[in-house]
């Protein structure tokens, strides 16, 4: 089977994060929860930046983590869109996007050409030589997305992709993100504290509280039958 | 902090400085400025070109610039990796860390002559390492130009290390995570991400190191001695010339002053205001 199949346990000082994720290719799962519930740890574990204390992460038939296996982040080939996007400030937009292919040994001219294609696809062609600090939040987010997707990762993880935006642009950027993710064939895990983002973007919802899954399912079901006050509160707005 | 203090308007309370303090404050400023005024006033400007072109001063100027550049290069080459270790040693044993930091900082506060004596005892004819260099390889370091470079590096490198360490602490490590998820090796992350991010700190540290190396006197005269054309750097030349040919001593002094001002100017944003930006 293609897609992500993960069972992650990470011991933290305050709690132990424990969750299972099954994300089919072409679908989006949102991990929702309050700050400190273990969302970012989940993402870092998937990305290989944190090694799970125990558990198993499978991507297709490839084992990324198991008792005796840990594929480091640089060899995982997972696309990550970080909170605040973390574009390289000293590189132009096109150089940011070309970074991954160059790291994988693609010759610089070919990598830059491929990066230009992605800029065009995301309506960013005129920003190719612009430094990240001159991009708007929405533009920076698309550059970050292009930087991750250019490597054609089988799994894409996004950490609060809309949190850095102000309210006025959020809705339009969210719509654009939905469109762009629609053209992506891999599994997507989206981490967010905002249920509105999760409802708008995700096929599946996982609600995390203090490191544990309190509810999961398709968004409409979860909204219709919240298991506790926290989950109910998520859908009140 | 710098920007806010610059733009803040004087508040209604005034400066709040007691009148009595104006006198010592003025004296202190005069104490710092007047010697430089005296120097500038007494330089034989008419002979300036002649003195600089003269073989003695020209020779020490060339030696000083060359040795200073070499010491700066050595400081960067060795100091950046050391700064790296220092900045990333957060998870180490705190005692080990403090010790490491102390070793780096000692040359900053150590009288340079002591540094010179220590270098003699390490690399001198009968020194800890010097003995072996002499017996096994026939190499003698004291009283050579390399000895000048070593003395200058000893006193200058801490500036580079501390400046680069500050820059490394300020750099966002999450950018390294981002690069790693894109498949970059550690070396590529160092070359393409971290190094460019800390480049201003490296530049500031290099300028400071160069300034410190150029002014080095105590360690150099102790370890390298005073040999015209070989170890007689500008500060030593100025000191020697003061008895025989004061005019050229003044000229050398004014050149060193000009370099110091140029350094301050180059660092006006980076060092004087802190390395946070």
User: Does any domain span residue B37?
Assistant: no
Task: Name the residue range of residue A191's domain.
Answer: 4-86+155-161+185-234
Contact A90 B179 (CB under 8 A): no
Q: What is the CATH number of the domain that holds A227?
A: 3.40.50.300
Q: Does B9 touch chain A (CB under 8 A)?
A: no
pLDDT at A129: 93
pLDDT at B148: 96
Domain count, chain B: 1
Q: What is the CATH number of the domain that holds B112?
A: 1.10.3720.10
Distance between CA B184 and CA B192 in Å, rounded?
9
Residue B3 has pLDDT above 70, yes or no: no
Q: Does A145 touch chain B (CB under 8 A)?
A: no
User: Does any domain span residue B216?
Assistant: yes
Distance between CA B123 and CA B108 in Å, rounded?
21
User: Does any domain span residue A171?
Assistant: no
ipTM of the prediction greater than 0.85, yes or no: yes
**pLDDT-based confidence at B269, cuts 50/70/90?**
low
User: Does any domain span residue A121?
Assistant: no
Rounded to the nearest 10 degrees, how much is the dihedral formed by the CA atoms of A166, A171, A176, A178?
120
pLDDT at B93: 82
Q: Does B268 touch chain A (CB under 8 A)?
A: no
Per-residue confidence in pLDDT tens, chain A, 237 aa: 489 999 999 988 888 899 999 999 999 999 998 888 888 899 999 999 999 999 999 998 899 999 888 999 999 999 999 999 999 999 999 999 999 999 999 999 999 999 999 999 998 999 999 999 999 988 999 999 999 999 999 999 999 988 888 888 888 889 889 988 888 889 999 998 888 888 889 999 999 988 889 888 888 888 888 888 888 887 775
Contact B178 A89 (CB under 8 A): no
**Which ranges constitute the DSSP H helices of B43-144?**
48-53, 55-87, 94-109, 112-123, 130-137
pLDDT (tens digit per residue) in A67-104 = 888 999 999 999 999 999 999 999 999 999 999 999 99
pLDDT at B275: 44
Domain count, chain A: 1
Cα three-residue angle A210-A161-A177, rounded to 5 degrees: 130
Residue B9 has pLDDT above 80, yes or no: no
CB contacts < 8 Å between A and B, how many?
58
Task: Name the residue range of residue B262's domain.
Answer: 51-172+199-266
B196, A89 Cβ separation under 8 angstroms = no
């Amino acid at each position: 089977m293609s897609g992500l199949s993960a069972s992650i346990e990470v011991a933290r000082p305050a709690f132990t994060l424990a969750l299972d994720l099954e994300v089919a290719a072409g679908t989006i799962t949102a991990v929702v929860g309050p700050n400190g519930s273990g969302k970012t740890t989940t993402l870092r574990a998937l990305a290989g930046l944190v090694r799970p204390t125990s558990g198993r992460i499978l991507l297709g038939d490839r084992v990324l983590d198991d008792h005796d296996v840990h594929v480091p982040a640089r060899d995982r080939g997972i696309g990550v869109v970080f909170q605040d996007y973390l574009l390289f400030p000293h590189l132009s937009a096109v150089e940011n996007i070309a970074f991954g292919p160059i790291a994988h040994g693609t010759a610089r001219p070919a990598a830059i050409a491929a990066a230009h294609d992605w800029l065009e696809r995301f309506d960013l062609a005129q920003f190719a030589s612009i430094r990240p600090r001159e991009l708007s939040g929405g533009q920076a987010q698309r550059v970050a997305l292009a930087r991750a997707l250019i490597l054609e990762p089988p799994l894409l993880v996004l950490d609060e992709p809309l949190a850095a935006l102000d309210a006025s642009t959020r809705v339009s950027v969210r719509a654009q993100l939905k469109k762009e993710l629609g053209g992506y064939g891999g599994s997507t895990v989206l981490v967010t504290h905002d249920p509105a983002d999760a409802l708008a973007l995700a096929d599946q919802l996982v609600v995390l509280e203090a490191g544990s899954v309190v509810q999961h399912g398709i968004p409409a079901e979860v909204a219709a039958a919240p298991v506790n006050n926290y989950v109910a509160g998520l859908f009140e707005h | 902090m710098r920007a806010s203090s610059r733009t803040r308007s004087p508040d209604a309370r005034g400066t709040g400085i007691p009148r009595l303090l104006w006198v010592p404050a003025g004296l202190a400023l005069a104490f710092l400025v007047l010697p430089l005024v005296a120097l500038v006033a007494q330089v034989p400007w008419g002979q300036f070109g002649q003195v600089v072109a003269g073989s003695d001063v020209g020779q020490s100027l060339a030696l000083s610039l060359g040795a200073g550049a070499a010491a700066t290069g050595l400081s960067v080459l060795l100091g950046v990796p050391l700064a790296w270790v220092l900045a990333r040693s957060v998870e180490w044993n705190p005692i080990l860390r403090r010790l490491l930091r102390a070793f780096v900082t000692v040359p900053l506060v150590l009288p340079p002559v002591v540094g010179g004596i220590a270098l003699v005892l390490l690399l001198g004819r009968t020194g800890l390492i010097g003995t072996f260099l002499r017996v096994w390889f026939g190499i003698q370091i004291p009283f050579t130009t390399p000895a000048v470079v070593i003395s200058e590096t000893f006193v200058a490198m801490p500036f580079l290390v501390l400046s680069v360490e500050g820059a490394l602490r300020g750099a966002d490590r999450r950018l390294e995570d981002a690069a790693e998820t894109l498949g970059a090796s550690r070396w590529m992350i160092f070359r393409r991400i971290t190094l460019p991010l800390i480049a201003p700190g490296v530049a500031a540290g290099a300028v400071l190191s160069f300034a410190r190396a150029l002014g080095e006197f105590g360690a150099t005269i102790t370890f390298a001695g005073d040999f015209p054309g070989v170890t007689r750097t500008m500060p030593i030349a100025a000191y020697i010339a003061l008895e025989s040919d004061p005019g050229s001593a003044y000229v050398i002094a004014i050149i060193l002053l000009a370099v110091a001002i140029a350094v301050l100017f180059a660092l006006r944003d980076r060092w004087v205001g802190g390395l946070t930006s």
